[in-house]
Amino acid sequence: MEAENDTDISQFLLRGLSEDPELQPVLFGLFLSMYLITVVGNLLIVLAVGSDPRLHTPMYFFLCNLSFVDICFISTTIPKMLVNIRAQNRKISYIECLTQVYFFNTYCGVDNFLLTIMAYDRYVAICHPLNYTVIMNPRLCVLLVLMSWIIMFWVSLIQILLMKRLTFYLETEIPHFFCELTKILKVASSDTLVNNIFLYVGTALLGVVPFMGILFSYSRIVSSLMKMSSLASKYKAFSTCGSHLCVVSLFYGTVLGVYLSSAVTHSSHEGMVASVMYTVVTPMLNPFIYSLRNEDVKGALGRLLSRAASGP
């Protein structure tokens, strides 16, 4: 079969989670529900933080950005999946696939950076409380978020430009429910050495380094807590980290689970099921984690819903 990479006619086939016709309505209803819960939950967090002056602090500024990114993150993959299930069509155009890869990698990377920035914010708040407002000033907070977007914008752009060099057979099947970079490189009909090198180096720098930053921040936090004499002070200080720790554990735990399951089972279906955890379940649970464990967020959500119920 002749290799083809003409963006006007090229398209891929997404294998999807299941080819069983009887399961398609179940999958459609399940993922539509999860998508709506995720969007509504994270949107409420954004509105609550934005509307309550008491939450206009660095910690909630980063939380607001995390919720916004989570909405974008899940919107990159699930709507196309739902459309394909509804239309009983597995096709995705070459341009759509590249676009999905670009935005998926960008949002996933920004999510990762935001979790690292939030860990640093908690480190400054607990280990340097007297200088917190000076160090975590509004200018630095905006700069940190902006730099996260700029870095991922260029990294994702380079990945797409490298993908443009590759050729594929017509209607190549991607063994996933969305266009994931690693899966696409495996089905390319041309040499992917440069792409894989950039992918592994980028993953090491943009994945491992931020995770090490989180570990360093929490090692310093624990060290600082050990020096506190009051048990009440320890609990109060560490309670502000509880929600963030849960989200970090969920995000990195599910991502690690994807790669471990792929390495152990070598089954594309097992890998797809594991991918659902960090692409769908994690963004869906984040607002619940922060709203259930954080009294300030619960209070802001209550006031927001009360105003909405009472009307203008």
Cα–Cα nearest to 225, from 133, 296, 123: 123
**DSSP structure class, residue 119:** H
Euclidean distance between CA atoms 115 and 244, whole angstroms:
8
Residue 6 falls in which region: left (phi positive, over 0), alpha (psi -120 to 50) or beta: beta
Coil, strand or helix at 152: helix
- List, for residues 222-252, the tens digit of each pLDDT value: 888 887 777 776 777 677 787 788 888 888 8
Encoding tokens for residue 90?
């597995």
For 202-223, the pLDDT digits (tens) are 988 888 889 899 999 999 988 8
Of 77, 30, 33, nearest in space to 177 by CA: 77
pLDDT beyond 80 at 270: no
pLDDT digit string, tens, across residues 153-195: 999 999 999 998 888 887 788 888 899 898 899 888 888 999 9
Higher pLDDT: 126 or 309? It is 126
pLDDT in the model for residue 109? 93
Cβ pair 115, 148 in contact under 8 A: no
Instruction: Among 3.40.50.720, 3.40.190.10, 3.50.50.60, 1.20.1070.10, name the CATH number for the domain at 3-310.
Output: 1.20.1070.10
Closest to 304 (Cα-Cα) out of 281, 287, 284, 282: 287
The share of the chain scoring above pLDDT 90, in percent, equals 40
Mean pLDDT of 299-311: 75
The confidence band for 260, taking pLDDT boundaries of 50, 70 and 90, is low
Query: How far apart, in whole angstroms, are the C-alpha atoms of residue 14 and residue 81?
Result: 9
User: Domain spans of the chain?
Assistant: 3-310
Mean pLDDT (the chain, rounded):
85
Where residue 6 falls among pLDDT bands split at 50, 70, 90? very low
3-state secondary structure of 4: strand
